Amino acid sequence: MDLHIPLFPNVQGKSIVIDGVTYCPVLRDSGDRLQVVSNPPPISSILTHTPIALNAAGNATICVVPPSMTFHILHLLLVASAAVTIRFLSNVTYIMGSAAVGAALAANGGWVENGSIYTPIYQGAATGDDFIINLSTAVAVAGHVVWYYD
């Protein structure tokens, strides 16, 4: 059920109760709408926390997803021991960066992104795609990702 109620920017990601029913603002293709949340599963039962410890150049699969599901990344933290360029992929599709361009991290530099269950920061480009991090050089990169699939 969608309610066509204009939202103020500071409501994104917060719950609203109208006549005893809880609604959570979510960003949709055609603008902001309210989506009903009725008896959602406990967050801890659907979220996965995956540690990241990389040290080789190239692609590293971080989140493995079942064939009929799509991943959703809610939180990502990376720290590099030396300068490196990172890219994120959904299998072979770049979802951050490209073959030629990525995010440059300085030595001891970090990358932090936060989303929510309603506004993930990255999503799989297709069902069954895994979340992959690509490093330009063999550098130690550590961190973690919080994600789920549906």
Please give the full DSSP string across 71-92, using - where no structure is assigned. Answer: EEEEEEEEEESS-EEEEEEETT
pLDDT at 146 over 60: yes
> Once rounded to an integer, what is the mean pLDDT over residues 58-74?
94
CATH of 43-149 given 3.30.70.360, 2.60.120.10, 3.40.50.450, 3.40.50.300: 2.60.120.10
45: pLDDT confidence band, cut at 50, 70 and 90? low
Domain ranges of the chain: 2-36, 43-149
**Residue 82 carries which side chain, given as an amino acid letter?**
A
pLDDT at 23 over 60: no
- What is the number of other CB atoms lying within 10 angstroms of the CB of residue 82? 14
pTM of the predicted model, to two decimals?
0.72
CA pair distance 43, 1, nearest whole angstrom? 21
Q: Per-residue pLDDT tens for 127-136?
A: 999 999 999 9
